[in-house]
Amino acid sequence: MALGGEVAARVGGEPIPLSLVAEVARAQQITPREAARKVIDDEIAASAARSRGLDRAQPAAWRLVATRARLVTDRLLDDAKRRGPPSDAEVEELSALHWVEVDRPPTIKVIHAIAIRPKKPEDYGAAREVAAKLHEAALGATSAEDFQTRTKAVPHPKAVDVRVESLPPFTREARIAQGAGDHGMDATFTKAAWALGESGATSGVVESSFGWHVIRLLERLPEARMPFEERRTAFTAEVHARRGGEATQARLKDLKARHPVEVSSAAETLMRSVPIANEQASVP
């Protein structure tokens, strides 16, 4: 039987009606495409349960699909909780992921002025001259604000851009201790910054891949490490959710292999007409 009309997709032999996709999209305030993906996953997870002879009468069957699938995921989450608190390996894995919050080593904060590396190599000499002037201006600074004022006042040719900015704290290993902590600093810049002694110390001209810097040390911040057992407690909910998610994905992978999914070629066109919150749905 060809797909089309009011059928958005088939999972195994079971059709998924467009009306169900529309209902999910409206209820959850998501796009029809996202709603279709959710309903397909729910149908895959519930297909095994239907083989037990549960009521397939419409429209009740469409509501039972989602309910049965949610029961499956709830059971998998309960199984994850019964496995107990996070293991040492799980705590270590999440500590690495959330190191900024729970396992941060010492960091420093700096302000720097940079003569940005020009696009044309013939302008490098001019950039070095500007950097030397930035260094001369910075040596007389008495504070971060004074550093900024003095270096911003240094004249420079059009071919050389100058930027003055405070940077987020970063570790000796060049990791930025802010946000997700998954970005890094230039290694040469980091080494020069960490070589500065007391707060207020100013570097010479430091060349990096970005250009020529003058760095002023603002602050050294001590490490902030949460005790391991406190991390185990803090990570409990996340570990249970990760375990449940992994089990759900494994279950879905197995079911998808045994219950092929066929999506109607006309489904996306049909779903464009689904009204959500009094507006026409837009499928990206």
Decide if 228 is inside a domain.
no
And the tokens for 199?
Answer: 């707060």
In the chain, which ranges are E strands?
Answer: 7-11, 14-17, 103-104, 107-116, 162-166, 170-171, 206-207, 211-221, 224-225, 261-263, 275-276, 279-280
CA distance 65 to 58: 11
Per residue of the chain (284 residues), give pLDDT as tens.
334 456 777 776 677 777 777 777 776 777 878 877 777 777 776 665 555 554 454 555 555 556 666 666 677 777 778 888 999 999 999 999 999 999 999 999 999 999 999 999 999 999 999 999 999 999 999 999 999 999 999 999 999 999 999 999 999 999 999 876 567 899 999 999 999 999 999 999 999 999 999 999 999 999 999 999 999 999 999 998 888 888 878 877 877 777 676 666 665 665 666 555 444 433 34
Decide if 118 is inside a domain.
yes
19 and 44 together in one domain: yes
Q: Can you give the CATH number for the domain in which 207 is found? A: 3.10.50
pLDDT score for 233: 94
170 and 254 together in one domain: no
Decide if 2 is inside a domain.
no
Decide if 230 is inside a domain.
no
Q: Specify the number of domains making up the chain.
A: 2
Q: Residue 208: which domain range?
A: 111-222
Decide if 58 is inside a domain.
yes
246 and 164 together in one domain: no
Decide if 104 is inside a domain.
no
250 and 218 together in one domain: no
DSSP 3-state assignment of 25? helix
Q: What separation in angstroms does the CA of 96 have from each of 10, 82, 100, 194, 227?
A: 42, 25, 9, 23, 14
pLDDT score for 36: 79
154 and 126 together in one domain: yes
For 283, phi and psi rounded to 5 degrees? -90, 115
Which of 190, 222, 254 represents a domain boundary (last residue)? 222
142 and 217 together in one domain: yes
130 and 218 together in one domain: yes
Output the CA angle 201-204-209, nearest 5 degrees: 115
Q: The dihedral of CA 82, 83, 84, 86: what is its sign? A: negative
Question: Count of H helices and E strands in the chain?
Answer: 11, 12
200 and 123 together in one domain: yes
pLDDT score for 268: 61
Residue with tokens 């029961």: 71
45 and 127 together in one domain: no
210 and 124 together in one domain: yes
Q: How many residues does the chain have?
A: 284
Which of 222, 246, 263 represents a domain boundary (last residue)? 222
Decide if 274 is inside a domain.
yes
pLDDT score for 62: 53
Decide if 40 is inside a domain.
yes
125 and 207 together in one domain: yes
115 and 211 together in one domain: yes
